Amino acid sequence: MGSDSDLSTMQETTKVLAEFGVPYEIHVSSAHRSPVKTAKLASEAAGRGIRVIIAAAGMAAHLAGVIAAETTLPVIGVPMTGGALNGVDALYAMVQMPGGIPVGTMAIGKAGAKNAGLFAVQILSLAAPELRAKLVSYKTKMAEEVEQKDQALQASRRG
Residue 132 counted as an annotated binding residue: no
Nearest to 63 by CA among 39, 98, 96: 39
Q: Which amino acid appears at position 128 of this protein?
A: A
33 annotated to bind ligand: yes
48 appears as a binding residue in the annotation: no
Cβ neighbours around 5 below 10 Å, total? 12
Annotated binding site: 3, 6, 33
State the binding site for substrate: 3, 6, 33
